[in-house]
Amino acid sequence: MRLARIRTDEGVLTGAYEGGDSNAYDGTVTTDEGTFVVGEDAELLAPCEPTAMYCVGRNYAATIDQMDYERPDEPDWFIKPPASVVGPGRDVTYPSWTEELTYAGELAAVVDVACTDLAEDEVDEVIRGYTIMNDLDALDQDERTPRKAFDGSGPLGPWLETDVEPSSLDMTTHVGGELRQEANTELMLFSPREIVAFLSQRYTFQPGDVISFGSPANPGLVDPGEEVAIWYENIGTLRNTVVAAEE
């Protein structure tokens, strides 16, 4: 089932997303308050409100080779704050202080309950579902926090898929209509369940927190005016257009 968050005259609601073109986000969302049409009487929002986004990098061998990174012995991660989140279909502002903004299409899990110190076989019990994140990176900045943890650096959505096996999903990323990434999650060095369990030994996750699992090869530059469309099998497509900062 696809769970979507929407903004309506009744407030922010969550319900089952059905029908419509998944690329256009014009389906219906059925909630306890009724059924709403996205784009008419509802606005599609990011599918959760995280207290943090725990993002794993260097998790595909091809990406490590491309970027000339050392292969990690254990999951390598950083954290994006809640201000990073941008909903599906929303514009993303190209920061005025960078000249090298890059995209990266990543699978992400959303936590359902407060939890910590998990075993791998307990992970499925605490995950609400899976979604998609675009790990935007200001590549010309020093260190990870200035590069990756700025406002709007984590487009997320378009919804949560509650019934998906994360270990073998095809994915693609198109930028300006051009295919830039194509891979399968079975190529990850560390599996989603392994990563969630590993990070839970260090953090207490809260409901709505996000764990992303790294980008396949060919994360690359994106320019103002280009749409980034990230598709994951059995989930959907996250679309956001990059726009120039206002002067």
pTM, full prediction: 0.95
Is the link from the previous residue into 158 a cis peptide, with omega within 30 of 0?
A: yes
Comparing 214 with 22, the larger pLDDT belongs to 214
Q: Distance between CA atoms of 247 and 96, rounded to whole angstroms?
A: 9
For the chain, give the mean pLDDT.
Answer: 94
Cβ-proximal residues to 178 (8 Å cutoff; 6+ apart), any chain: none
> Domain residue spans in the chain?
1-45, 48-244
Which residues face 231 on adjacent strands? 172, 237
Q: What Cα–Cα distance (Å) separates residue 78 from each residue in 54, 132, 199? A: 6, 17, 11
State the Cα–Cα distance between residues 117 and 97, nearest whole angstrom. 39
Calculate ∠ Cα 25-28-33, nearest 5°. 130
Task: Extract long-range pairs of 61-65: CB within 8 Å, 24+ residues apart.
Answer: 61/187, 61/189, 62/183, 62/187, 62/216, 62/217, 63/214, 63/215, 63/216, 63/217, 63/218, 63/219, 65/217
Local confidence band at 20 (pLDDT 50, 70, 90 cut-offs): low
Displacement of CA 139 from its chain's centroid (Å): 19
pLDDT digits (tens, 9 = 90+) for 60-98: 887 666 666 777 899 999 999 999 999 999 999 999 999
Architecture of domain 48-244: Alpha-Beta Complex (3.90)
pLDDT of 131-145, one tens digit each?
Answer: 999 999 999 999 999
Q: How confident is the model at residue 228 (pLDDT cuts 50, 70, 90)?
A: very high
CA angle 233, 235, 238 (to 5 degrees): 100
CATH architecture of 1-45: Roll (2.30)
Q: How do residues 185-221 score in pLDDT, each as one tens digit?
A: 999 999 999 999 999 999 999 999 999 999 998 889 9
Alpha carbon distance 137, 153 (integer Å)? 7
Rounded to an integer, what distance in angstroms lies between the CA atom of residue 238 and that of residue 228? Answer: 8
